[in-house]
Structure 1
Amino acid sequence: MTTSQLVIAPVLLPVLAGIALLLGRSLDLRWRRAFALTCALGQVVLALMLTRAVADGSVLVYALGNWPAPFGIVLVADRLAAWLLVTTSLLAWFALAYGCLGSDRDGRHFHVLFQLQIFGLSGAFLTGDLFNLFVFFEVLLLASYGLLLHGGGRRRTRAGLHYVVINLVGSTLFLFAAGTFYGVLGTLNLADLAVKAAAVSPQDLPLVRTAGLLLFAVFALKAALVPLYLWLPAAYANTSAPAAALFAIMTKVGAYSILRVSTLIFGADAGPAANLIADWLLPVALLTLAVGLIGAAGSERLRLQIAYLVVASIGTLLTAIGLGTVSGIGAGLYYLPHSTFAAAALFLLADLIAGQRGEHTDRLVPGPVMGRHWVLGVLFFLGAILIVGLPPLSGFIGKFLILRAALDHPAAVWVLGIVLGGGLLALLTLARSGSLLFYQTAEADGGTAVPPPTWRALAPVAALLTLGAAMTLWAGPLSDYTAAMADQLLQPDGYVRAVLGEG
């Protein structure tokens, strides 16, 4: 496999795996599980190989059909795309391993939909074309809708209906934005858009800015920014555990798109269209962080609380990106995988806790003593430390880097106040939840005894938390890498030359 072919491999593997699983749906479930897990592990290997190939700052381009850009479709891999591919593939493997313990039996085509979800995520991170970003968004929407409804139920159906209707509205706006870009600039290739947006004529500038704002509204919807976050809590809180764990990366697709387009097309060198969203991204991100934490504090169910913490985490991530500096964006990119792994681990853990509490499920009320409660308690404690950002784990390092980057920003007081105050609120919220779940017990309802969670079920949770802890051990090299990633993003000439050629 050549270096350029390596770029398309993370897109081909999951879609071919999904087709094979659909054709082999009559095979024994054990064989389908083994095949799906093998393909997911292969995705991890491909992502790591691609990361190694671009670690020196190279930008790799694969032209489909050998049509040169901007006339043909291209896939582009740089440090940012590889970073998100590694995060996605690791997350997907452990979420799938948990799903193979039994929840994949609750509905048809779980493994097919799971592979298509990986396909959509990988394509969104690698595409170099705006229309194909729309296509991969639609793949994500369809696959995630199927996974959201996996197992059925009134709550899931209602949440799924809200989810798909709101996202279809976003898809319509995306088409309006893409059509306007093509009508004015004559291209949808991201690198070519960067060149032509910088040279747009004054009479076309209002249309370009309007299309850009429409595009950012769509990305804000995907990222669940205030006020476009209302679809997320119910959807994430009512789906199956492996689907919710995989969905922890979904909001990051919106954040990735905001970062990619704002630095490439509307960056500092974009002429009259420069810094299109610079003035409002930071305030909206801080508001999202505050609203997410208030929602978590007021939640009466553990899974709903974690869903609101996902909203808060995207607020923290985009606060770092909104700083607009190498140190700020680098800190946010370090924080991104940490928050993803922590939220996914808590979703899986919440499912185990709910299964041990009988009719109390995941409601934050006193319940019976759970099997292996000490193991569940330790995992909950570690997950809380990670997602709140307490020392010495990676959450603390990520927030410290963000706060340090904000010191020289004019809005430093707001950033420090909301991030630190939000961390305190999150700590109190999860401390209360842990107390209700593990210390304030009630009499059992006298029903059939529930077997304790198996070590195989606990392993994916522990593994995801270990990934977060491992980011602490390698915090120095990883933060240096994300800083280099941010520097590459803020100097997009290398990306443009790699896609369009030196001329």
Structure 2
Amino acid sequence: MNHLVFLPVLVPLLAGALLLLVRRALPLTVRRRLNLVAVLVQVAVALALLLQVTDGTVLVYQLGDWPAPYGIVLVADRLSAWMVLLTAVLALFALLYAIRGSDAGSRHFQPLFQLQLFGLSGAFLTGDLFNLFVFFEVLLLASYGLLLHGGGAQRTRAGLHFVVVNLVGSTLFLFAAGTLYGVAGTLNMADLAGKLATLDPADLGLARTGALLLFVVFALKAALFPFYLWLPTAYAATSAPVAALFAVMTKVGVYAILRVQTLWFDDPEGSLAGLLDPWLLPLALVTMALGSLGALASTRLRIQIGYLVLVSLGLLLTAIALGERDSIAAGLYYLAHTTLATGAFYLLAEGIARRRGSAGERLIDAPAMPHAGQIGALFFIVAILVAGLPPFSGFLGKFMVLRAALDTPAMAWILAVVLLSGLLAIVALARSGSLLLLRATPSEGLPPGAPGRGELAPASALLAVCLGLTLWAAPLTDFTRATAEQLLTPTHYIEAVLGTDMEGAGR
């Protein structure tokens, strides 16, 4: 076994436990440094793991050396390693922002931050459906505390909605997992791939019910229509570094949909072949359309960002719904772009709000901000990235998705919704930029309590990474294309997990 697979889960778990134990014994500055060192270690481990699987190797770690499907397994392939690295990079810049003062006021922020990373990494690496549920619950429990960090009526109200929605999702997850276990006798995802493909016709109805319930859960996590209204308000209510980290949390739902789609539903001879085809693409397009309308109607910047997140999620799930190598590859490239750009936008939005005095993030006329030129340049770059305008990574990802859609029966609908939602996003961001930066009256000095220029460094660094996605687009798209090919031929994944020879099984 390769122990490197276990480290992205082990490091944040140990770091979170240590930070919890010393939360009263050590001063905040020391705890911040410990947290930062732990995240840097996670970035290094995630990068090492990605390099290990770049050649197509599937690494399996059997906890307790119990073989699958009976034991707990962690599985690292190109997709899971890509997601773990993306999470660690985003967490690094979110934490660099938080330690400037956003983490003050509670001794629990540092351990909760690490436990959130523990849940996220575990969800991306687990090869077992029940343990996916466990990691979901861990990251959700941590996210409840992080969302409420700092207190206040608005955060409490948004946190209550967030908790209720996710408790419903967790309940449905247990129903779905129990149904699938009753039908197939296993919850190992690789083992389920074989069992669900050869079901007895008498069990087909229950299996479809369980699989569709599971899709509902993942759709809720991914904020897919009609389960999307919780996202803009929850992300707008919390602190900026937490909202930035949450940018990858919805991607857990996207990841889960992609994983089960390619493992269970893409086999043309399987019992559940094409189960999600009637649902995924229409819901993704509706999510994109409603997200763009919400962004246009928003009266607060962070609410607007939340609706723009929905637009990007709709595009991601459209790419997955097309189910082709090129569309999935485009979606994985766009996934990295939108996660990092969204994180940068949330960090920048708080910097803007603090510099506008009593107007805050509301999209109304207000006195001119100090350092408006620097803020305006960053806003212009992030707006181009989020709207998908050339020549940056947002445009490249969107263009690749549209190109992959040209030969599909739904081409006209996809082109219409993607282009129209992009146009509405441009209009919405242009309106926001005008209100925030151009239609301002002169003012003197920095608003009381507003931070200095260093606050903008983490957002600037995330934007620089997005520019790197543009500069190195060719090797990155080669990698995402290889990842898509690996997903669409899951034989090696199943063989690696189960240790069996799937040759001749049609997979």
Q: TM-score, normalised by structure 1?
A: 0.98
Q: Is the 8 A contact 1:62 1:75 kept in 2?
A: yes
Instruction: Give matches, 1:181-330, under 5 Å.
Output: 181-269=180-268, 271-330=270-329
Instruction: Say which SS state the counterpart of residue 271 (structure 1) adopts.
Output: coil
Cα offsets for 1:468-500 (capped at 9, x unmatched): 110001101101110110111011111000000
Instruction: Say which SS state the counterpart of residue 6 (structure 2) adopts.
Output: helix
- Separation of aligned partners in 1, 2:389 and 2:206: 46
- Separation of aligned partners in 2, 1:449 and 1:10: 41
Q: Is the 8 A contact 1:244 1:347 kept in 2?
A: yes
Instruction: Say which SS state the counterpart of residue 101 (structure 1) adopts.
Output: helix
- Separation of aligned partners in 2, 1:106 and 1:347: 21
Q: Is the 8 A contact 1:57 1:78 kept in 2?
A: yes
Tell me which residue corresponds to 2:122. Answer: 123
Q: Is the 8 A contact 2:364 2:436 kept in 1?
A: yes
Tell me which residue corresponds to 1:351. Answer: 350
Tell me which residue corresponds to 2:505. Answer: none
Could you tell me how far 1:456 is from its partner in structure 2? 2.4
Tell me which residue corresponds to 1:57. Answer: 56
Q: Is the 8 A contact 1:366 1:441 kept in 2?
A: yes
- TM-align CA RMSD: 1.2
Could you tell me how far 1:280 is from its partner in structure 2? 1.5
- Separation of aligned partners in 1, 2:128 and 2:447: 55
- Separation of aligned partners in 2, 1:132 and 1:160: 25
Residue type at the aligned position of 2:420:
G
Q: Is the 8 A contact 2:369 2:446 kept in 1?
A: no
Q: Is the 8 A contact 2:355 2:446 kept in 1?
A: no
Could you tell me how far 1:323 is from its partner in structure 2? 0.7
Could you tell me how far 1:442 is from its partner in structure 2? 3.6
Instruction: Say which SS state the counterpart of residue 19 (structure 1) adopts.
Output: helix
Task: Give the counterpart of 1:22 among 10, 20, 30.
Answer: 20
Could you tell me how far 1:372 is from its partner in structure 2? 0.9
Cα offsets for 1:128-179 (capped at 9, x unmatched): 0000000000011100000000000001000000000010000000000001
Instruction: Say which SS state the counterpart of residue 102 (structure 1) adopts.
Output: helix
- Separation of aligned partners in 1, 2:410 and 2:34: 51
Tell me which residue corresponds to 1:462. Answer: 460
Instruction: Say which SS state the counterpart of residue 201 (structure 2) adopts.
Output: coil
Task: Give the counterpart of 1:500 among 493, 498, 501.
Answer: 498
Task: Give the counterpart of 1:479 among 467, 474, 477.
Answer: 477
Could you tell me how far 1:107 is from its partner in structure 2? 2.6
- Separation of aligned partners in 2, 1:70 and 1:244: 36
- Separation of aligned partners in 1, 2:158 and 2:105: 18
Tell me which residue corresponds to 2:504. Answer: none
Could you tell me how far 1:421 is from its partner in structure 2? 1.2
Q: Is the 8 A contact 1:372 1:452 kept in 2?
A: no
Instruction: Say which SS state the counterpart of residue 100 (structure 2) adopts.
Output: coil
Q: TM-score, normalised by structure 2?
A: 0.97
Cα offsets for 1:211-264 (capped at 9, x unmatched): 000000000000000110111111000100000000000110000000001111
Residue type at the aligned position of 1:491:
T
Cα offsets for 1:3-53 (capped at 9, x unmatched): 710000000000100000011112011111111011101111111000000
Instruction: Say which SS state the counterpart of residue 193 (structure 1) adopts.
Output: helix
Q: Is the 8 A contact 1:288 1:311 kept in 2?
A: yes
Q: Is the 8 A contact 1:372 1:453 kept in 2?
A: no
Could you tell me how far 1:279 is from its partner in structure 2? 2.0
Tell me which residue corresponds to 1:395. Answer: 394
Cα offsets for 1:336-364 (capped at 9, x unmatched): 01001111101000100110111100000
- Separation of aligned partners in 1, 2:89 and 2:146: 19
Tell me which residue corresponds to 1:490. Answer: 488
Tell me which residue corresponds to 1:5. Answer: 3
Structure 2 stretches of 5 or more lacking a match? 502-507
Residue type at the aligned position of 1:485:
T
Q: Is the 8 A contact 1:225 1:284 kept in 2?
A: yes
Q: Is the 8 A contact 2:354 2:447 kept in 1?
A: no
Name whichever of 270-279 and 87-96 sits farther off: 270-279
Tell me which residue corresponds to 1:132. Answer: 131
Q: Is the 8 A contact 2:128 2:189 kept in 1?
A: yes
Residue type at the aligned position of 2:4:
L
Identity of matched residues, %: 62
Could you tell me how far 1:450 is from its partner in structure 2? 3.2
Q: Is the 8 A contact 1:343 1:387 kept in 2?
A: yes
Q: Which runs of 4+ in 1 moved over 6 A?
A: none
Could you tell me how far 1:443 is from its partner in structure 2? 6.1
